[in-house]
Amino acid sequence: MIAVLTHIAFRDWPRLAGALFLVLWPGFAPAEMTGHPGAVPLARQNALAHEDRPRSVVELQVFRTRQEARAADGTRLALTALNPGANGWFLLELFRPGKGRETYHIENPAPLTRQIALTGGPDPALSLGGAGLCRPWAGAAPELDSARATGLPFAPICGERLYLRNPVAGSRTSLERTAEFLRERVAFGESLVGFVKGTLYKDRYLESGALVADADPGRAAAALGRARLADHPVMYTTMTFDLVGASPTRMEMGAWYAVEGAPGIYASALQPRMIDPAILRGDQRANLLDPVEGKADVYLVGFDLSLFDLGYETGTEHPRLDWSPRPPEVARNRALPGPDGVARPAHLVPTGMLSPAEARRIAATFTGGFKREHGAFRAGPLAATNHGHHYGFVVHGTVLSRLQPGLATLYVLTDGRVGMRTWDSADAPPLREIRFARQNGVALVEPDPDTGQPLPGAMVRQWLPGNWSGSDKAELRTLRAGACLRPGPNGPFLVYAWFSTATPSAMARVFQAYGCDYAMLLDMNAMEHTYMAAYTAAPGGGIALHHLVAGMAQIDARRTDGSRVPRFVGSADNRDFFYLLRKEDAE
In a domain, 2, yes or no: no
Nearest to 233 by CA among 270, 207, 259: 270
Judge whether residue 383 has pLDDT over 60: yes
Angstrom distance (rounded) from CA 494 to CA 265 = 10
- Segment 437-455 shows an average pLDDT of 94
Question: Exposed/middle/buried for 306, CB within 10 Å: 0-12, 13-18, 19+?
Answer: middle
Residues making up the chain, counted from first to last: 587
The DSSP bridge partners found for residue 534 are 364, 546
Closest CA to 268 of 248, 245, 292: 248
Q: Indicate if 194 and 263 belong to the same structural domain.
A: yes
On whether both 80 and 184 belong to a single domain, the answer is: no
Let me know if residue 44 belongs to a domain.
no
Tell me how crowded residue 99 is: count the other CB atoms within 10 A of its CB: 9
Pairing between β-strand 89-95 and β-strand 265-270 as defined by DSSP bridges: unpaired
Q: Going by C-beta distance under 8 Å and a sequence separation of 6 or more, which residues neighbour residue 490?
A: 304, 306, 307
pLDDT at 146: 96
- String of b and e for 446-482 (b: at least 16 CB within 10 Å)? beeeeeeebbbbebbbbbbbbbbbbbeeeebbbbbbb
Give the confidence band of 584 by pLDDT, cuts at 50, 70, 90.
confident
Residues 131 and 188 in one domain: no
pLDDT at 5: 33
pLDDT tier for residue 98 given thresholds of 50, 70 and 90: confident
Select from 144, 165, 186 the last residue of a domain.
Answer: 165
Upper half-sphere CA count for residue 573 (Cβ side, 13 Å): 28
In 98-179 the beta strands, taken as DSSP E runs, fall at 101-107, 117-118, 126-127, 133-134, 154-157, 162-165
Task: Write out pLDDT tens, residues 185-222.
Answer: 544 445 444 544 554 456 678 888 899 988 899 999 99
Residue 300 to residue 308: CA distance in whole angstroms: 17
385 pLDDT more than 80: yes
Residues 324 and 193 in one domain: yes
User: In total, how many domains does the chain have?
Assistant: 2
* 438 lies in the same domain as 471: yes
Measured CA to CA, the distance from residue 258 to residue 262 in angstroms comes to 8
| pLDDT surpassing 60 at residue 269 | yes
Residues 120 and 198 occupy one common structural domain: no
Q: Are residues 360 and 497 in the same domain?
A: yes
Instruction: Report the largest interatomic distance among the alpha carbons of the chain, rounded to a whole angstrom.
Output: 81
Query: Both 337 and 398 in a single domain?
Result: yes
**Among candidate residues 511, 526, 147, the one with its CA nearest the CA of residue 349:** 147
Query: Using an 8 Å Cβ cutoff, are 9 and 112 in contact?
Result: no
Please indicate whether residue 485 or residue 557 has the higher confidence score (pLDDT): 485
Q: How confident is the model at residue 117 (pLDDT cuts 50, 70, 90)?
A: very high
CB 367 within 8 A of CB 576: yes
Same domain for 423 and 467? yes
Residue 213 lies in a domain: no
Give a yes or no: residue 36 inside a domain.
no
Q: What is the pTM of this model?
A: 0.89
Q: How far apart are CA 30 and CA 69, in angstroms?
A: 9
Does residue 34 lie within any of the structural domains? no
Percent of the residues in the chain that have a pLDDT greater than 90, as a whole number? 73
In a domain, 390, yes or no: yes
CB neighbour list of residue 337: distance below 8 Å, 6 or more residues apart: 54, 322, 323, 343
What pLDDT, on the 0 to 100 scale, is given for residue 176?
Answer: 60
**Whether 297 contacts 510, CB under 8 Å:** no
CA distance 522 to 368: 6
pLDDT band with cut points at 50, 70 and 90 for residue 183: low
Answer whether residue 24 is part of any domain.
no
189 domain residue, yes or no: yes
Say how far apart CA 41 and CA 123 lie, in whole Å. 31
Structural domain that includes position 397: 174-204+237-582
92 SS3 class: strand
Residue 508 has pLDDT above 50, yes or no: yes
Helix then strand then coil, % of the chain, to nearest 5 = 20, 30, 50
pLDDT of residue 15: 43
> Based on the domain organization, do 99 and 193 belong to the same domain?
no
Are residues 107 and 183 both part of a single domain?
no
Residue after which a domain boundary falls, among 113, 143, 165: 165
End-of-domain residue from the set 116, 145, 165: 165
CA contacts within 13 A on the Cβ side of 580: 29
| DSSP code of residue 246 | B
pLDDT in tens, 45-83: 556 656 789 999 999 999 999 999 999 999 999 999 999
Asked if 574 and 467 sit in the same domain, the reply is: yes
* C-alpha to C-alpha distance for 116 and 127, rounded to whole angstroms: 6
